[in-house]
Structure 1
């Protein structure tokens, strides 16, 4: 017994090693307010570009942003902030270093000299990072939006942490009042001087990767011009944002849009200078994040932002980790949307059929869904669709009324009526998905293929309730799926017909012992037995009992005509198995 226990413990630790927590690499960021994470209270729209960087990286990378408003290389060290960072750096981690804005200040607590103390501090960051086995990357400062005649006052713009907490930006106000009244030119005037050269020179001397953020942002801002470039910075009218009741005209600090744009440009530049990071770079049209690192806080905001009928190209939306409690609608005009989730991205709501709407009427089954998909060519990957209302009757997690819809590695959580394949004449493909429920938890009119999916029954009932229309060639087809159940559940049917011509076929599926021997149910209607098409092919597992199945079901001798690509082809030849989520070129 002792040897068995040792063996089991060894196996547990071995499996644990293979399930090592992500991420495996950390990017530590040290710098000033242009890089820092900003508070979100009061709808504050300010963002540092480092705050937005996670939306451009895969989950193998973790961003740990230690940049702080108002800090120079000197004050960052003197306040013990560098000591805290370097103590956490391990071999293979990166340290991104960007100072300069506040090293320029005359304040003795922050001032450093380019070519002197500034360079010395940068060298310290580099050498101590390398001593820990880390990889330093040097950046110079992003540009200030300074069109027109240069003036010395424009340098003093960094916000202190106290200012941010109070919602005050005295430096930005000072800058606005001291700008010349003359019309701005179309050329940017540099405000950083030799402070831009120090990171470049140190990088060259020590053989360190250098990213010229000033050049990157100079080209961006000057290219947009004096008017359009304001969209990148904290130009906020009065009485529009709770955090900034008096408004702000700030040419140093980025807003949400500017932060995302600059972070994307930075990530591309980083990938060129540090090729080892290129494989982790991801670009999405929109990012949804609850921590402020995205374009939006809610998934619905991102869906609403997708241009209507954007043809021949996908709009990609990353949903970062979090439970998003919102009812989501993907309307018919938002075609070609790809919704990609990080691990732990959950779209959840708690409506149910008997719940009352604002008029005191029951919402009904269709009205209970957490998510509605009406737009064709929708793609979802690594997203959890959840109805969290529990065992309260019909409560849909996902309502799909669209053609050519593809779900990959998604989860559908609920009880009764979890997944509603609503669209008549629509085709849906589910690959490596997990679907759970109690009664009729996969139901509806659509043609749907479930490939290598895990289907889990939480109590006795029916896995499917198809309502296939008469004359429709295919209903539900399950390929190589695994059917399981909670402990003690032993009375589950594969299907019952919601409508007379229901179709469901299980091909090479592993059926748990919870599937009763008869397998199929007629929903108390003997006439339905004459029209339904219920069949299996080479079922395995304890629930596979071909000799005692309901007499109106069939055991297929071959699966000719039931290949997934055949079932899904329709008249346009849609084949997600071969082409993935590529858009189908439809000749009109």
Structure 2
């Protein structure tokens, strides 16, 4: 029950640190959406959600390139820092990759310790699985070592843990290969003006997928009393208008991307 010592300001604050599965997207990339982009749909208006997630960032690059420092400089006692990485960490690109039970855990500790040093509450959220299937129609668990490492670290450090990964496995398996595609960025040529040639994207979500993830996270935070239950709202609302999804105009998105770092320029 973390909220007993929460900072009771006029606007409670939840900072989000994560990768492309979490970040707010620019309007030129719609209908692509991160779950952090739509998380405010499930919180009352007096809760300020500061989405600092960055597309392409791993736990390593987010910390090394000044984005974590930007958050830590602004955290107040009683704030929350919700941390979700893994989809970029598992890439083979040496510039972003971390090993799940070594570097990944070490960098996540920086987020946990940094928040607690400032009297804020860290929360870990595992990444969702990708939409990848084998030739027999079985879901491939390509990200699995990272949620496992995160779960172990959460237990070791007594950090609240929201297991979005396990939930996504249940959802994707129940929906099957074709059903799951309806939640991800699979668009036919001409289906959306931002993607005239179509797109087959096994990683990034459509609003329906992002909303499902955000709803589950908000529900879990309230149900387990990680945040005060009265902060969470509209969990039973099935649909939202397109204008509620929170895409940013490209100039505003670029400005925030540059501003929310203590690193060099437009970094990951």
**TM-score over 0.5 for the alignment?**
yes
Query: Contact 2:221 / 2:227 at 8 angstroms: preserved in 1?
Result: no
Q: Aligned match of 2:169 in 208, 213, 218?
A: 218
Task: Name the structure 1 match of 2:26.
Answer: 39
Q: Any idea what the Cα deviations from partners look like across 1:125-145, whole Å, max 9, x if unmatched?
A: 001101111100011111111
Using the size of structure 2 for normalisation, the TM-score is: 0.83
1:286 lines up with 2:239 in the alignment: yes
Name the CA distance, whole Å, in 1 between partners of 2:240 and 2:72.
Answer: 30
Query: Contact 1:211 / 1:273 at 8 angstroms: preserved in 2?
Result: no
Q: Which runs of 5+ in 1 are unaligned?
A: 1-21, 149-181, 295-588
Task: Name the structure 2 match of 1:254.
Answer: 205
Task: Name the structure 2 match of 1:106.
Answer: 92
Task: Name the structure 2 match of 1:81.
Answer: 67
Task: Name the structure 2 match of 1:139.
Answer: 125
1:60 lines up with 2:43 in the alignment: no
- How far 1:288 moved relative to its partner? 3.8
Name the CA distance, whole Å, in 2 between partners of 1:39 and 1:270.
Answer: 27
Task: Name the structure 1 match of 2:151.
Answer: 200
Name the CA distance, whole Å, in 2 between partners of 1:33 and 1:254.
Answer: 9
The 5-angstrom pairing of residues 494-509 of structure 1 reads none
Structure with the larger RCO, 1 or 2 (CA within 8 Å, 6+ apart): 2
Q: Any idea what the Cα deviations from partners look like across 1:473-505, whole Å, max 9, x if unmatched?
A: xxxxxxxxxxxxxxxxxxxxxxxxxxxxxxxxx
Task: Name the structure 2 match of 1:542.
Answer: none
- How far 1:291 moved relative to its partner? 6.2
Return the structure number with greater helix share: 2
The 5-angstrom pairing of residues 168-567 of structure 1 reads 182=135, 184-185=136-137, 187-283=138-234, 284-288=237-241, 290=243, 292-293=245-246
- In structure 2, relative to structure 1, the CA distance for the partners of 1:260 and 1:23 (3 Å cut) is farther
Name the CA distance, whole Å, in 2 between partners of 1:235 and 1:23.
Answer: 41
Using the size of structure 1 for normalisation, the TM-score is: 0.39
Q: Any idea what the Cα deviations from partners look like across 1:369-406, whole Å, max 9, x if unmatched?
A: xxxxxxxxxxxxxxxxxxxxxxxxxxxxxxxxxxxxxx
What is the RMSD of the two structures over their aligned residues, measured on CA atoms?
Answer: 2.0
**How many equivalent residue pairs?**
238
Name the CA distance, whole Å, in 1 between partners of 2:13 and 2:162.
Answer: 18
- How far 1:91 moved relative to its partner? 1.0
Matched position secondary structure for 2:182: helix
Query: Contact 2:189 / 2:199 at 8 angstroms: preserved in 1?
Result: yes
Name the CA distance, whole Å, in 1 between partners of 2:15 and 2:221.
Answer: 14
- How far 1:289 moved relative to its partner? 6.5
Matched position secondary structure for 1:286: coil
- Runs of 4+ aligned residues of structure 1 deviating over 4 Å after TM superposition are none
Task: Name the structure 2 match of 1:24.
Answer: 11
Query: Contact 1:40 / 1:292 at 8 angstroms: preserved in 2?
Result: no
